Amino acid sequence: MKVIICGAGQVGWQIARHLSGEKNDVTVVDLNSDLIRRATDSLDVQGIAGHASYPDILERAGAEDADMVIAATHSDEVNMVTCQVAHSIFEVPRKIARLRAQSYLDAIYSDIYRRDHLPIDVVISPEKEVAEAALRRIAAPAAFDTELFLGGRAQLLGITIDDVCPVLDTPLRQLTELFSTLRARIVAVRRDNKLFAPDADDQLMEGDSCYFMSHIEDVPRTLEVFGKITKKQERIVILGGGNVGLRVAKALEARTERIRARVIEKDRANAEHAADELERTIVLHGDGLDRALMEEAGIQSADALMAITDDDKTNLLAAVRAKQAGASTSICLINDPTLVPLLDALDIDAYINPRATTVSSILRHIRHGRVKSVYSIGDAEAEMIEAQVLSTSPIAGRKIEEIDFPKGVLVGAIQSGNEVIVPLASTTIKEGDVIAIFALTQDVPEVERLLQVSIDFF
| 27 Cβ neighbours under 8 A, 6+ residues apart | 2, 3, 4, 5, 45, 46, 47, 48, 61, 62
Q: In the prediction, which pLDDT does 109 show? A: 67
Q: In the prediction, which pLDDT does 259 show? A: 85
CATH for the 130-225 domain, from 3.40.1280.10, 3.60.15.10, 3.30.70.1450, 3.10.129.10: 3.30.70.1450
Q: In the prediction, which pLDDT does 108 show? A: 64
Ranges of residues in the chain with a pLDDT under 50 are: 368-369, 454-458
Amino acid identity for residue 404 in this structure: D
Q: In the prediction, which pLDDT does 419 show? A: 92
| Dihedrals phi, psi of 399, to nearest 5 degrees | -75, 150
Nearest residue to 352 (alpha-carbon basis) of 306, 290, 389: 306
CA 75 from chain centre, in angstroms, equals 22
- Domain 368-456: CATH architecture, name and number where available: 2-Layer Sandwich (3.30)
Separation between Cα atoms, residue 373 and residue 377, nearest integer Å = 13
> Cα separations (Å) of 426 from 129, 188, 398, 403?
37, 20, 9, 11
| 332 Cβ neighbours under 8 A, 6+ residues apart | 306, 307, 308, 315, 316, 318, 319, 348, 350, 351, 352
Q: In the prediction, which pLDDT does 455 show? A: 38
pLDDT in tens, 132-167: 888 888 878 788 888 889 988 999 999 999 888 888
Q: Which CATH superfamily is domain 2-124 in?
A: NAD(P)-binding Rossmann-like Domain (3.40.50.720)
Q: In the prediction, which pLDDT does 457 show? A: 39
pLDDT in tens, 287-332: 999 999 999 999 999 999 999 998 999 999 999 999 999 999 899 9
Range(s) within the chain of domains with CATH label 3.30.70.1450: 130-225, 368-456
Range(s) within the chain of domains with CATH label 3.40.50.720: 2-124, 235-327
Q: In the prediction, which pLDDT does 345 show? A: 84
Question: pTM of the full predicted structure?
Answer: 0.75
CATH for the 235-327 domain, from 3.40.640.10, 3.30.465.10, 3.40.50.720, 3.20.20.70: 3.40.50.720
Contact criterion met (CB below 8 Å) for 404 and 378 = no
Is 329 in a helix, a strand, or coil?
A: strand
**DSSP letter for each residue of 356-417:** HHHHHHHHHHHS-SSEEEEEEETTTTEEEEEEEPPTTSTTTTEEGGGS---TTEEEEEEEET
Other Cβ atoms closer than 10 A to 175: 20
Sign of CA dihedral 133, 138, 143, 144: positive
Burial string for 139-172 (b: 16+ CB within 10 Å, else e) reads ebbbbbbbbbbbeeebbbbbbbbeeebebbeebb
